[in-house]
Amino acid sequence: MVTGEEDIRVGIQAMKHGASDYLLKPMQLDVLSLSVERALAVKRMELELESYRQSLEEAIEGRTHQLEAAMRRIEMTYDETLEALGAALDLRDTETAGHSKRVCRYCLEMATAMSRPKDELKHIMRGSYLHDIGKIGIPDAILLKEGKLTSEEMTIMQSHVRIGYDLVSRIAFLAPAAAIVLTHQEKWDGTGYPQGLVGDEIPMGARIFTIADTLDAMTSDRPYRKALTFSVAREEIIRFAGKQFDPEIVNLFCSLPEERWETIRLDLKLPRLGEGLARPSHPSVSPRVIRPVRRGESRAATN
């Protein structure tokens, strides 16, 4: 800015509007030349900074893509590891082959409909899939025994929740799912094991799990009976709301279309987490009124 006005306020105004310098008339060539050189130096620095910023942004974007791809690969490896663990258990306990996968899918269905956070969905899926992993530590003579278990054998059998918890809680990416493994045999009214937790004391994932577990146990063939229909299983689950199951989750379970469970049952493939999470949530349906279980009524079948 070159001016005849010798007023500091004019100078300040000019700089505020982007002038790099403020020169007074009459013009002196050497002063002007110096000023222009300074202005050019500043401009060059600005351009360099801008190009550095751009290349930095590109580098960060590239690295972010690489990191995301690596995370996806790790997640896939996690899920493959889980499938291998589950398959190892299925090899020993063939009666329940496919049970873990179906229970996992049923849990995901309910937890998604409950709008649980994505991270929790992941842990619920993993915990429900591995719920019986502790049975790996139960002797064949007990695990595969056809007759009724003695009380000692029952105690050993029940230790599968602790064995499973000890196994899973030591693996960092599975640690948050370990709570479900430990508490998957707890019941809403406190009559479950190993701690006899009551109501909300039982982790949400385990409360969802018990419904999914019963649903699958009842709709699967057993040596002593044929698979029951989903309608029968549903009625049984409703009967034990408030006793074995969290009544609110039973309400939610009943609000979901029955055909959905049959579709899941037919599709045995365990979804990769991304696939499962990407599915749209359900339209809400008004919940049914739940009749609490009466004294003396037998429990719903569980696995």
Interface residues toward Fe ion, by CB under 5 A: 132
Q: How far is the CB of 287 from Fe ion (least distance, A)?
A: 28
Cα separation, 197 vs 237, whole angstroms: 20
Amino acid of residue 278: A
d(CA 120, CA 208): 12
CB of 132 to Fe ion, least distance (A): 4
Q: Which is nearer to Fe ion, 11 or 203 (CB)?
A: 203
Q: How far is the CB of 69 from Fe ion (least distance, A)?
A: 37
For residue 227, CA distances in Å to 93, 219, 269 come to 18, 5, 20
At its nearest, how many Å lie between Fe ion and the CB of residue 96? 10
Amino acid at 83: E
Tokens 């007990």 belong to which residue? 142
Task: Give the other-Cβ count within 10 Å of 3's Cβ.
Answer: 14
Rounded least distance, CB 125 to Fe ion, Å: 17
Minimum separation from the CB atom of position 165 to Fe ion (A): 11
The residue among 143 and 237 lying less far from Fe ion, judged by its C-beta, is 143
Count of C-beta atoms within a 10 Å radius of residue 102: 24
Lookup: tokens for 18: 């982007």
Please state the closest distance from residue 151 (CB atom) to Fe ion, in A: 18
Which of residues 75 and 93 has its CB atom nearest to Fe ion in the complex?
Answer: 93
Q: How far apart are CA 132 and CA 165, in angstroms?
A: 10
Of 212 and 290, CB closest to Fe ion: 212
Cα–Cα dist 139/37, whole Å: 87
Question: Which residue in 12, 5, 45, 46 sits closest to 21, CA to CA?
Answer: 12
**Which residue bears the tokens 């004019």?**
10
Residue nearest to Fe ion (CB): 132
Q: How far is the CB of 216 from Fe ion (least distance, A)?
A: 12
